[in-house]
Structure 1
């Protein structure tokens, strides 16, 4: 017969195993992956790295504080759940779960940012407007192999 402590230990191990695992990039590893794995245009890489730094501190598991409308932003690029992922958003235009945007696999994140960028450009990201737009962004890719 299992004791309460054994059951609690097993439950804890199971719960920890179900936690979404994230990854924290450094700027060059992100720049390189965006350029070579995902084939994003070279002239956009510094902008994406700037966005990731200011939105999530390069953390794929980032979950933003609730926005004024109650929505939240998810993952490396802080993709909003009101329009782009679900639950809770009614639209889910990227066809992805919000939890998937907070794991260590950014395939779905990149697919989604392509869609957002195609509709709205970088202006969809407040962090880009406040920290990246019109600035020399060369420091975000300096020394990186892109």
Structure 2
């Protein structure tokens, strides 16, 4: 039984289109809304409700709520994920390779922010919000509760 070359061409184009959509879909980042992030941080990751406005402001200026954000710094280091966690101190390409969060940096650019949150809490415990330039330059000294108004 012979197959119609035109039908085979249409079928191949369809399969290629599906493959491209699957690849593009996998590469898409999770971009939170401010209320979605605030609620998840408090309810799932144990952040204090009283400081969540500062965290949401920080995330806005560090990553624009994008879980796959990265930033190359002038000192040669790189920041990863929604909290822009720096690879000079907090993560590395190899787990346990002298980084304080004992994490692989690429784990911070996926859609699961549980490890990002755990590391951000560790950074905060050591340095407070001053560890993040986004917070120091845009959120410090402001009423950041406005970032989460109407979220809870």
**Structure having the higher Rg:** 2
- C-alpha change, 1:78 and 1:87, in structure 2 (3 Å) is same
What does the per-residue CA deviation read over 1:91-127, in whole Å, with 9 as the maximum and x for residues that have no partner? 3211111111000000000010011001100000011
The answer to whether 1:110 aligns with 2:122 is no
- 1:20 deviates by 5.6
Q: 2:77 aligns with which of 60, 71, 76?
A: 71
- Structure 1 length-normalised TM: 0.83
Q: Quote the RMSD (CA, aligned, Å).
A: 2.4
Report how many aligned residue pairs link the two structures: 135
- Decide which structure has greater helix share: 2
The answer to whether 1:62 aligns with 2:69 is yes
Q: Return 5+ residue gaps in structure 2 as ranges.
A: 1-11
Question: Where do 4+ consecutive residues of structure 1 move more than 3 Å?
Answer: none
- Structure 2 length-normalised TM: 0.80
Matches within 5 A, 1:63-142: 63-64=70-71, 66-87=72-93, 91-142=98-149
Matches within 5 A, 1:21-60: 22-60=29-67
